[in-house]
Amino acid sequence: MKALLLCSLGLILFAGDAGRVRAGDVEVPPGIVYKPVDAATDAKARQVVKDAFSAGAPQVFALLTDPVVCGAAYWSAIKGDPAIQAATTIPSHFKIPFGTSGQMQTIDGATFKEAAARQVLAGRLAADIGKDPSLRKLHPDELRVYWGMIPFDIEEPLYILEVGQKRFLLNLHRHQEQFSVMWVDELSTYKFGK
């Protein structure tokens, strides 16, 4: 399964560099719909994320006010955790292209809908990411991987939180002046290449 996933994502990444456009300070590969936020919203969202992780699990939980989709790589990493297994999650399935045949492959993730489940996820995220992650925008290869899994346009605020060699994707949804994480994944698990 992992080999199929990596092969499929390799094809997504093969899209090439020609035709890239810029959306604010992000280089967007061709074919990807990317909606940036203004600089003030970006600065506020960055600070909210930094503050939440520096304060630990209770503050991270405050960022998880709505259902959170856990992408395939992070779900694979955490689904064996007894606390995660005890939480009520909703299976989520992502269809991604496989090979050049046009066939699709289904990979599994989960949605954390209920508050108790989101609280368990917050604890795991806080433990995995720590109190001082490096925060940045996505690179083009990371955008292609995320774009390949989602059925909607990519909208900021969207960040990579780097901790050592690990890169966690956090996509936030903005409710007026509040932010809530809507999607999380661990992109460092995927193999990037041209």
Q: What is the pLDDT of residues 101-160, one digit of tens each?
A: 778 888 999 999 999 999 999 999 999 999 999 999 999 999 998 998 888 999 999 999
Q: Residue 14 pLDDT > 80, yes or no?
A: no
Let me know: does 108 contact 96? Beta carbons within 8 Å.
no
The pLDDT, as a whole number, for residue 192 is 54
Half-sphere exposure at residue 21, Cβ-oriented, CA atoms within 13 angstroms: 8
The pLDDT, as a whole number, for residue 194 is 46
**Residues 33-68: b if buried by 16+ CB within 10 A, e if exposed:** ebebbeeeebebbeebbbebbeeebeebbbbbbeeb
Nearest to 182 by CA among 162, 158, 161, 160: 158
Residue at token pair 């390799």: 10
Please provide the DSSP assignment of 82-119 as one string.
HHHHHS--EEEEEEEEETTTTEEEEEEEEEE-SHHHHH
Q: What is the dihedral of CA 57, 62, 63, 66, to 10 degrees?
A: 120
Report the residue count for the chain.
Answer: 194
Q: Does residue 34 sit in helix, strand or coil?
A: strand
pLDDT tens figures, 37-96: 999 999 999 999 999 999 999 999 999 999 999 999 999 999 999 999 999 999 999 887
Q: H/E element holding 167?
A: strand 166-175
The pLDDT-based confidence of 8 (bands split at 50, 70, 90) is very low
Task: List beta partners, residue 171.
Answer: 158, 183
- The interaxial angle of helices 2-13 and 140-149, nearest 10 deg, is 120
